[in-house]
Amino acid sequence: MLPIKQGQFAIALVCVVLGVMLAVQFRTTQDIRSSIPYQRVEDLSQRLSQTEKERDALINQVQELKRTSGAEAASKELERVRMGAGVIAVEGPGIIVTIDDSKRPSKPGENPNLYLIHDDDILKVINELWAAGAEAISINEQRLIASSEVRCAGPTLSVNNSRYSPPYEVRVIGEPTTLENALKMRGGVIETLQFWGIQVTIKKQDDVKVPAYKGAFRFEFAKPLKEGGN
């Protein structure tokens, strides 16, 4: 042992304090690590500034609408509604996702269905894309609208009552990076699909052209509600 003759008590006392501080500091550091990841703070501040930008843009839009005449506003509104309904072709930045069946042969005793693309696989992709802010989506030249269906039809896929076989080309307009990241998310759609060897390629493009809905609207049962009704 070291030959310490003096000050044992004082040092021991300070050591007690030191010990308490050590324990507290350990706990605090752990709290920092576990409770507030710094990235989250950055993420939130970024989102805040984005929201503020959006707000300013909306304020501008309101002022613009107030200034412009009613007819002009109505025609603009009509344009927007037509775009939303999917009856006009649109273009803009986005991604093109190509999905093809797995080339991998199924192992004996395994369900070969697992290596094929099904309607729910495509639906999952579509759903993820809408959630990531996609503004227009088409599958193999069929524009997805409010009444579109994506459905298994034997070995093919039925979209807007037209049948398509793989490969499927999904054209999406929206923020390309966001869309791509949404699909490539860890544990996300693509990772699940690629587990079975299903081939998915994503291509970012500055102008993706999404075709218009080619069918007609028929309303046999629905009719517009009178103004003011619920």
Q: Report the interface residues with other proteins, using CB under 8 A.
A: 1-25, 27-29, 31-32, 36
Shortest Cβ 40–other proteins spacing (Å) = 14
Pick the closer one to other proteins by CB: 8 or 69. Answer: 8
> Rounded CA gap, 172 and 170, in Å?
6
> Rounded CA gap, 168 and 13, in Å?
75
Residues 6+ apart with CB under 8 A from 100: 117, 166, 167, 168, 198, 199, 200
Shortest Cβ 37–other proteins spacing (Å) = 13
Q: In this structure, are residues 137 and 92 in contact, taking their beta carbons and an 8 Å threshold?
A: no
Pick the closer one to other proteins by CB: 21 or 74. Answer: 21
> Rounded CA gap, 26 and 20, in Å?
10
Pick the closer one to other proteins by CB: 45 or 127. Answer: 45
Pick the closer one to other proteins by CB: 43 or 79. Answer: 43
Residues 6+ apart with CB under 8 A from 194: 200
Shortest Cβ 47–other proteins spacing (Å) = 22
Shortest Cβ 45–other proteins spacing (Å) = 17
Shortest Cβ 119–other proteins spacing (Å) = 50
Pick the closer one to other proteins by CB: 15 or 74. Answer: 15
Main-chain dihedrals φ then ψ at residue 102, nearest 5 degrees = -70, 140
Q: In this structure, are residues 210 and 90 in contact, taking their beta carbons and an 8 Å threshold?
A: yes
Ramachandran quadrant class, 83 (left: phi over 0; alpha: psi -120 to 50; beta: rest): alpha
